[in-house]
Amino acid sequence: MSDSHGTARSQTDVVIQGIKDMLTRGDLQPGSRLPIEKDLAALLGVSRGSLREGVRALATLGVLETRQGDGTYVTALDPAALLSPLGFLADLQQPAHAADLLAVRRVLEAESVSLAATRITDDQLDALEAILTRIDRTLEDEDEVDLEEFINTDTEFHRAIAAASGNPPLAALVDALVGRTFRARLWRAISHRGSLRETQREHRAILDELVRRDPGRASIRMSTHLLGVEEFSAAHADEDPEAG
């Protein structure tokens, strides 16, 4: 029983590798329609069942899409779609490992803001200012800050900077690592210690350097901003972030 299962699995791997090779060689392009099932199975030397398994796996990864009654196509191979499973990694992180993930984010975002400083448009700067103005409004209520709104706008700020880097794979990595569940847990913990206004001051400092179009200083500001969150996470790794 286990042998046949292993064989089926290896056949599926043959399909995945075969289609990957066809993409690498240029036999298939983004938007290409795959050969009909019978022909492709014969080409790859696998059963039609194994072919379907491999196609399903690649569809889950965002490489292929099956259109009802119209065959299977290669997707646009958009970096954001292909890297989106990284979001699971972020959302499933345990508090004890959160600082490791934040360190990766810090490296990526220091680079993305540096690139953005040289490429950002006036419209994109205006959009960032609008985001921070919304955060300012969120923080006006001393007694009860809307944490949900703070998390959403903070996420938007980081994603907008990454998009302004002009590097789609880098932006997609940042986008995937700004995990919704992960961030909600972390910011809930931080908000209990009254650090949201300090965070907003750091946002303003980052935007100032983008307005000046200074990549070096923008990178330092972003690194410092995320290092603070990273150090907080490491120091409180053994705490329950949901606790009051």
Question: What pLDDT is recorded for position 123?
Answer: 98
In this structure, the number of other CB atoms found within 10 A of the CB of residue 125 comes to: 17
DSSP H or E run through 157: helix 147-164
Indicate whether 166 pLDDT > 90.
yes
Residues with Cβ within 8 Å of 77's Cβ and at least 6 positions away in sequence, in order, are 23, 30, 63
Question: What pLDDT is recorded for position 133?
Answer: 97
Query: What value does the mean pLDDT take over residues 163-171?
Result: 95
Closest CA to 83 of 179, 184, 187, 183: 179
Q: Lowest mean pLDDT of 68-72, 113-117, 224-228, 238-242, name the range.
A: 238-242
Question: What pLDDT is recorded for position 159?
Answer: 94
Quick: pLDDT tens for 12-54: 899 999 999 999 999 999 999 999 999 999 999 999 999 999 9
Which single residue is written with the structure tokens 């810090």?
A: 106
Dihedral (CA of 134, 135, 137, 143) sign: positive
Question: What pLDDT is recorded for position 86?
Answer: 75
Question: What pLDDT is recorded for position 207?
Answer: 98
- Are 93 and 101 in contact, with CB atoms under 8 Å apart? yes
Indicate whether 239 pLDDT > 80.
no
| CA 103 and chain centroid, separation | 14
